A and B are shown apart, each in its own frame.
Chain A
Amino acid sequence: MQQEEIERRLQQELAAPLPPDELAEVVDGVRYLEELARQIRGLDLDSLEPALPLSLEEPQ
């Protein structure tokens, strides 16, 4: 996520703007979480943990 997008979101989410050093920390943190999410996607979840559709029927 680009820093400008993070700044724009923060204007909506926070009561007061973040000081520049905190903004930089948040940007780093957001990118770190994105990297972790990429690691999870690399797991091939579709074979390990198939996301089954919701069934409204009782199992047979």
Chain B
Amino acid sequence: MSAILDLSLQALSEEIRAKRISPIEAVEACLSRIEARDPELNSFLTVTADAALAEAKERTEELAAGRLRGPLHGVPIALKDLILTRGVRTTSGSAILRDWVPDRDAAVVRRLRAAGAISLGKLNMHEFAFGATSINPHYGATRNPHDTTRMTGGSSGGSGAAVAGKLCYAALGSDTGGSIRCPAALCGLVGLKPTYGRVSRAGVLPLAWSLDHVGPMTRTVTDAALMLEAMAGHDPEDGTSAKQPVPVFSRGLDQGVRGLRLGVPREFFWHPVHREVRNQVLAAIEALGNAGAEIREVSLQHLDAARAAQAITIFSEAGTAHRRLLETRSAEYGPSVRCRFVQGLFVTAADYLDAQRARRVVRAALLETFREVDALLTPACPIPAPRIDQQRVNVDGLVAPPQYFLVRNNGLFNITGAPALSVPCGLAAGLPVGLQIAGRPWDEATILRVARAVEMR
């Protein structure tokens, strides 16, 4: 059983195609693992065992009849619990939606199911996705499989724990300010936030509509590419979905980095950063240089404005999205998340609009930088996973709550919509470290290629 669970998504896919492992065996192995491991990890809010087994039986019968849907055929995955699932409760990690059962699937769920993937259920998260610890006041904290006294990061913390704990082969997360990349970094996974507009958000509960992205979290780069291929593409149900061609992301991953120009920003991303995190990330960058990439220091403009615009936008949009619920059910929010939503109600229209103007300035400056380099490299998360009970972290002499640090390095690529991922690049204090790789809009292929080179070193 453990041998099945140790496979990557891609390796499982090959075994299923060769009929050496059936989808039923894969699903049964995951369900056993969930039963054994999840009482401690607390990654699933709802396990849909019967539905998963029924789908596995259908996928197995299809294979017997000679029908293979693609690389995700029969592969068990799981979904962050803000992604709508028909007939399966969708809580968004909240008490308010504890018993809400949608009557439709999100577009991305329909795509993955059509590609043959099998959902095992819904995953724990920071309440309403508005926070980066995944310490949930209603359902309990998710725990990091590398050390269960430590945080997974968030907000897609259940997705991080479930994939790193080998309870499923891939999971979906959402990322409004780093909520895929942060838990991916802390749990030792690949977490990919695609370009804004690449993956439909239809049927995904919003946090901040102009910053929200949906993406995969996996154990390998190739697995992330395979997931994105199935998830991406224009969707008329999402007004922000782009009519862009979807490349075969899993092809060309092993080309290496020779000839690529990789930029290392001088400012902002390197202080505060935990010393061992910095060392691991710098070692990965050096290795990319040794593999033939040209490493260039670059200067990014308007980073303070980017951070300010990101915060104003996320608070204002989140407060507005929750305004009606706050009017009638504010007492049912967890205290810390309630405070955050309420703050957003006080952003003036003028300040929000100025933030959008600043955003265009920041985006133009970033695109200018991408004329000089093909991708940017930074630490994905400045610190390794804090303890769940940790109130303060001291980094470079700066003492602050963990949430100050967790997604500090990620927001630039939400406010600009550029694709960015975290790929594991070593250990700090025995815990995973992630390298963030960001690229030009629509060029996920290059950042996946760079990530693959990091993975292979």
Contacts and interface: CB of A to CB of B under 8 A. Distances in A.
Main secondary structure of the interface of A (DSSP, over half): helix
A39 B308 CA distance: 7
Contacts of A43: 302, 305, 358, 361
Interface stretch (B341-349, B369-377, B423-431, B448-456): B341-349
Interface string B158-190: 000000000000000000000000000000000
Nearest to A29: B343
A30 B312 contact: no
Contacts of A56: none
A13 interface: yes
Chain A, interface size category, equals: 20 to 34
Interface in A5-38: 6, 9-10, 13-16, 18-19, 22, 25-26, 29-30, 33-34, 36-37
A54 interface: no
A18 B361 CA distance: 38
Contacts, number: 84
Interface string B391-418: 0000000000000000000000000000
Contacts of A51: 357
A18 B358 contact: no
Contact of A14 (B327, B347, B351): B327
A48 B330 CA distance: 40
B108 to A, nearest CB: 32
Contact of A37 (B312, B330, B361): B312
Contact of B361 (A15, A19, A25, A48): A48
Given A16-B331, A40-B305, A40-B308, A10 B354 contact: no
A10 B342 contact: yes
Nearest to B329: A15
Nearest to A21: B335
B355 A13 contact: no
Contact of B346 (A16, A25, A33, A36): A33
A10 to B, nearest CB: 7
Interface of B: 302, 304-305, 307-309, 311-312, 315, 323, 326-331, 335, 338-340, 342-343, 345-348, 351, 354-355, 357-358, 360-361
Interface of A: 1, 6, 9-10, 13-16, 18-19, 22, 25-26, 29-30, 33-34, 36-37, 39-41, 43, 45, 48-49, 51
